[in-house]
Amino acid sequence: MPSTTASPRLHLRQITKRYPGCLANDVIDLRIDAGEIHALLGENGAGKSTLMKIIYGVTQPDSGEILWEGERVRMRNPAQARSLGIGMVFQHFSLFETLTVAQNIALAMGPGQTPKQLEPRIREVSARYGMSLAPERLVHSLSIGERQRVEIIRCLMQDIRLLILDEPTSVLTPQEAEDLFVTLRRLAAEGCSILFISHKLGEVRALCHSATVLRAGRVSGQCVPNESSDLALARMMVGDAEGLETEYAKATGGVDFLNVQQLSWHNPDPFGCSLKAVDLAVRRGEIVGIAGVAGNGQDELLALLSGERTLATADSACVQFAGKPVGDLRPDARRALGLGFVPAERLGHGAVPDMSLADNALLTAFGQGLVSKGLIQRGRVVQLAETIIERFGVKSAGTHAAARSLSGGNLQKFILGREILQQPRLLVAAHPTWGVDVGAAATIHRALIALRDAGAAILVISEDLDELFQICDRLGALSAGRLSTLKPTTETTPVELGGWMAGRFEAMAPANDSPLSPAMPA
């Protein structure tokens, strides 16, 4: 239970931070006691990330004060924050991709501990918390979920007194998230304070002792989460936004558009995942969802579908669009046939960080009349970016704003909007609502359903089982590079889907309407 002493672990008073054209934090007060798990809630762009960066010393406030255990401090940089016992897991990873897991963790641990000395402890801590990691692996070879594990383990290995977690479970399975909560509750019982940011309101209600809600940079309210419903919390964050309670009718779809037949692919990376005889069909007018723990072949399947990795010409028929072999085609050729693609990683993959939103719109939509006789039609490019911003409620300083200036959720809405407005015949989307607030998730879900109802085939790869059950018409799971057969969403359960994620395919019978063959036994 949180401490009841007069002096809190952390006390923010009247914190204000302004950026050009944006008041990110407006006289914010926040108090966290020793042993308290405190949630910070708010829609994307509400000022949560800026406030966390101020606490961690990444950003300096324009005014206000920070009190640490009753003493006023000026948090000059993250090194000072860590020296006080503050650890932070960022939503956008802060890892060096050319270094190993152990080397990245050693950088945060300070002098006196070499990566080699840390390797046994990394293995022990990661295994204890159900987030297995190989400390000798290079970070660039890790999936997005595995990189998140590095961030979490790096903090858990430090002697922390305040742990800041920004969307820590966004790429964890429900069981992994529950294992993490066991750890967090134990840390809190030992006196560690935890500041927890999540858009998964069920998690907040189950885990947190108290919550502060931000809206437009100001504190709009406080509550005890387990005394509120998910809907009540959502309305505190975003008001009476459309679609918060929506249930979507399921569709049966029409003829197949995407057909993957006996796709096997050997991954040359010894730490990567190879694909084994994957069969998959996605019909026009349906959404197929693929679940799976990070590192089980999702990244490899996405690369082979998008054209970032190609097959030999002799194997090109393993991937077909509307009966046409495309396995040996590059991404631009597949886009010309109707592919839209939303990658898992926003900055650096879905968008170029330092380029404007208008230029990022041009990156994939250049075939939509934005280039004529080799010349960019700048007015049309800006108009497209403006339409995306308006239609999808993207909060930004305008079409000239750099992609990196947007919050994670707003950038995700922009990337999805860019793809959806091109009216693709096939949309492949990885983690479409990762780290976005409930209002933004509702916007994205409505857009996906509308695209489905217009006849598009949609494949969603996600680790959010609630999302998959809400929007998908058929479901399957990847495990160790093998794909289960697909079943109608109404005929399966989260427990069964979780079993497939663990590789328990042997009890599955193929659904009557599934075009796929039974998966090999685990």
Reported as a single tens digit per residue, the pLDDT across 18-37 is 988 789 999 999 999 999 99
Rounded to whole angstroms, how far apart are CA atoms 169 and 162?
A: 18
List, for residues 194-216, the tens digit of each pLDDT value: 999 988 888 899 999 999 999 88
**Better-predicted residue by pLDDT, 520 or 52:** 52
Domains and CATH numbers, the chain: 10-238 (3.40.50.300), 241-338+424-522 (3.40.50.300)
Structure tokens at 419: 């793809």
How many CB atoms sit inside 10 A of residue 73's CB? 15
pLDDT mean over 130-152: 82
Asked whether residue 521 carries a pLDDT value surpassing 60, the answer given is: no
Asked whether residue 159 carries a pLDDT value surpassing 80, the answer given is: no
Asked whether residue 1 carries a pLDDT value surpassing 80, the answer given is: no
Which distant-in-sequence residues (6+ apart) come within 8 Å of 384 by Cβ?
A: 358, 361, 362, 365, 368, 370, 418, 421
pTM comes to: 0.71
Among the listed residues 151, 181, 160, the one whose alpha carbon sits nearest the alpha carbon of residue 10: 160
At residue 291, the pLDDT reads 93
At residue 517, the pLDDT reads 34
Q: Which amino acid, 153?
A: I
What SS3 class is residue 39?
A: strand
**Better-predicted residue by pLDDT, 435 or 105:** 105
At residue 198, the pLDDT reads 86
**Better-predicted residue by pLDDT, 503 or 400:** 400
Distance between alpha carbon 305 and the CA centroid of its chain, in Å?
20
Calculate the average pLDDT of the chain: 87
Asked whether residue 11 carries a pLDDT value surpassing 90, the answer given is: yes
At residue 10, the pLDDT reads 96
Structure tokens at 74: 């000026």
Q: How confident is the model at residue 4 (pLDDT cuts 50, 70, 90)?
A: low
Asked whether residue 263 carries a pLDDT value surpassing 90, the answer given is: yes
Q: How confident is the model at residue 509 (pLDDT cuts 50, 70, 90)?
A: very low
Q: How confident is the model at residue 232 (pLDDT cuts 50, 70, 90)?
A: confident
